[in-house]
Amino acid sequence: MLAVSDTTPNPTQYTLSSRLHDRRLHLGLLLACILVGFMLRIEVVRNWNVIQPDSPERLVGDEPGYDNIARELLLGYGFTWPGRVPLYSVWLALVYYMGGGSYNFAAYAQAIVSVLAIPLVYVLGSRLFNSLAGIAAALLATISYVLIFLTFRILSENLYIPALLLVMITLWDAMQKPTLRRFLIAGVLLGVSNLIRPTLLLFPVVIILLLWFRLNKRQAIRYGIVYLAASVLVVTPWVIHNYLRYQAFFPLQTSNAILWQGSPEYYYLVKHQGYTYMQVWSEILYGPGWEERDPTSIEGDRYWTTRALDSISSDPLTYLRYAAEKVVTFWVGDPNADWDNTYIFNYRALRSAGFPREEAIQYMIALFLPVVALGAGIMLYDRFKHLLPLYALLGYFTLLHAATHAEARLSAPLQTFLFILIAGAMVKVFDRRSSKRQETAA
């Protein structure tokens, strides 16, 4: 009998990687992620509902605005405020109708919708990398602090995050195998997302530029126009509605002085004159006489936009310097708006602002993820062209908010894309080490 050498390859060294890349295993894990994600969100909502009244007293920030629109729709008043686009409020009105107007019921409904992000993250991760990366990203989405704790808030992010994933999935499919039909579908979904939150209104311009460099000029123009036209056609009825109601053309909703909040005038208020973020809102934007220049009204929107442009033109260097700062603060939080007027990653500031200990830690981890994702992007340098559509989306959001106003909440819908980049880098490292083990074993 021949003795078995100690250098004989261990079969597990050859099968471990293939098992982890088994799509059937991934589908089982995906179902488990969906179930666990659903249970986590339901439990968080249940705990929130226990300590909050089932009444408007529980609403803060932007929540009353969405709530008022939805309830006015149920009363038959239609859309009476130009400060929001319609789809989230329509969805919320339907939820109120089914739940008898209960805020508790609405929170549970949002928990169900938010779970859609998990399978969509898996689909996009599988397309950009492979099924293993998809399931790793889905796991991160399952336990994400940001995604879980958005569910009980009456905020459009709960609908926007799944919509944004669909925008990227369909765009990715269209960019990989360009057809008119694929770009038509991608454009329609882009338009739908703009009726939930109008951030991507100018995104087709970026895609046309990408197509210009990836395809011949004729194809780029052809597909780009279809993408742009489809998205415009979807939002056109809302533009017409606004014109008929307000006798004015404006880009889907009023801007709430977002450009002014990125102007040199705002910069000097918070950096040199000692104003806090909340003081700017209470004493400047909504100070004495605010009714005549309400940032959410059409007249007020024009007033604050003009004031912002005057400030920018008078001090362009400060504007550019501030914009450069916001490239970072968009992802990790604004020192004034997110870190209690101190500095980023200040645990004590979160605690003093009312965060419980565990939530403060989770929040800091969530805001550190962009740093990890940046490292992942560097590791994936060899796939830059492959990931260009995703980078274009992330870059578009970053530059848009660098030019206007940037705070962590505005980048929250992009967390799922960070999970995918991190998962892709993790799988790359794992596969590289598995290959080295196999080479050594051979």
Helices (H) and strands (E) in the chain, counts: 21, 0
Lowest mean pLDDT among 15-24, 25-34, 63-72: 15-24
Structure tokens at 392: 């274009």
What is d(CA 211, CA 207) in angstroms, rounded to the nearest whole number?
6
pLDDT (tens digit per residue) in 314-336: 999 999 999 999 999 999 999 98
Provide the CB-side half-sphere exposure for 199 (13 A, CA): 28
Closest CA to 424 of 172, 27, 137: 137
Tens digit of pLDDT for each residue in 84-116? 999 999 999 999 999 999 999 999 999 999 999
Residue 203 has what pLDDT? Answer: 97
Give the whole-angstrom CA distance, residue 190 versus residue 201.
8
Q: Give the Å distances, CA to CA, from 355 to 41, 42, 350.
A: 19, 21, 6
pLDDT digits (tens, 9 = 90+) for 249-288: 888 999 999 999 999 999 999 999 989 999 999 999 998 8
- Cα angle 153, 351, 331 (rounded to 5 degrees) comes to 60
What is the C-alpha to C-alpha distance for residues 423 and 125, in angstroms, rounded to an integer? 8
Confidence class of residue 7 from pLDDT cuts 50, 70 and 90?
Answer: very low
> CA separation (Å) from 186 to 119, 191, 227, 379, 409?
19, 9, 7, 29, 26
As a whole number of angstroms, the longest Cα–Cα distance in the chain is 98
The Cα 105–Cα 113 span in angstroms is 13
170, 189 contact by CB (below 8 A): yes
**424 neighbors 380 (Cβ within 8 angstroms):** yes
Q: What is the pLDDT of residues 182-228, one digit of tens each?
A: 999 999 999 999 999 999 999 999 999 999 988 888 999 999 999 99
